[in-house]
Amino acid sequence: MSKKILHCENISKIFNAGEAEVKALQGVTLDMYANELLMLVGPSGCGKTTFVSVLSTLLSFEEGYCEILGNDTSKMSDEDKTAFRGENIGFVFQSFNLLPSLSSIDNVALPLTIAGVSREEAHKQAKEMLNAVELADKADSKPNSLSGGQQQRIAIARALVHQPKLIICDEPTSSLDQQSGQVVMQLLKKITKEKGVSMIVVTHDNRIYKYADRTAYMEDGRILKVDSYL
């Protein structure tokens, strides 16, 4: 059995939007392990983004318990959380969120340069990541000159460059065509197995369901069931 890297139990999250109160999470429990790709699926508004935001310490929560890599996230200050994410969590979104004025390699190197790594060392590591996503030849290109699939692979290289243990992907293939979506998922699956990371892929995209090691089905702020294909 792979190492457990995440344990959360009975998580509840309430949004107070003006008068109305939205119970976005109503007692969510989940464990995750190294080397696995877990897909989180369910209808729009069921709480998927809220859940991964809570897991990754971007959002606080009202009730429950969440431990990642042995750390109780409810005990962390905001500064602790920022540092923790910088060290341990990688993010990939539907919109690639690359900086248009920077070259591919500078985009990939950014998490390292922000963390104070020298430009030379950051570029060396970024180059390795560009190799891993098979875009070394685009190191000096700006994002706007790349296809959607290539931009997403650059975003994946950036999410991985600081060697996080947990990667959160929220709809990573939704804005891609079929072919690019498959390439991106093959890459995410390969990274999961080769780098021993734990990957959560939030998706509506039934073309990619086959890449899951486990699939968690969410509805109305709850995980209804988890299927395992391992």
Ligand X SMILES: Nc1ncnc2c1ncn2[C@@H]1O[C@H](COP(=O)(O)OP(=O)(O)OP(=O)(O)O)[C@@H](O)[C@H]1O
Q: Is 48 in the site for ligand X (CB under 6 A)?
A: yes
d(CA 173, CA 187): 12
d(CA 153, CA 171): 14
Of 122 and 201, nearer to ligand X (C-beta) is 201
End-to-end alpha carbon distance in the chain:
11
Q: Is 44 in the site for ligand X (CB under 6 A)?
A: yes
Say which entry of Mg ion, ligand X, none residue 46 contacts (CB below 5 to 8 A, set by partner kind): ligand X
Residue 26-55 contact track with Mg ion, rule CB under 5 A, x = bound: -----------------------x------
Bridge partners (DSSP) of residue 47 are none
Name the amino acid, one letter, at 57. Answer: T
In whole angstroms, the minimum distance from the beta carbon of 49 to ligand X comes to 3
| Nearest to 35, CA basis, from 6, 73, 8 | 6
Say which entry of ligand X, Mg ion, none residue 45 contacts (CB below 5 to 8 A, set by partner kind): ligand X
| Rg, Å, the chain Cα set | 17
Q: Is 152 in the site for Mg ion (CB under 5 A)?
A: no
Q: Is 45 in the site for ligand X (CB under 6 A)?
A: yes
Q: Is 76 in the site for ligand X (CB under 6 A)?
A: no
DSSP 190-218: HHHHHH--EEEEE---GGGGGG-SEEEEE
Please pick, from the candidates 22, 76, 102, 226, the single residue that binds ligand X as defined by CB under 6 A. Answer: 22
Binding site for ligand X (CB under 6 A): 15, 17, 22, 24, 44-50
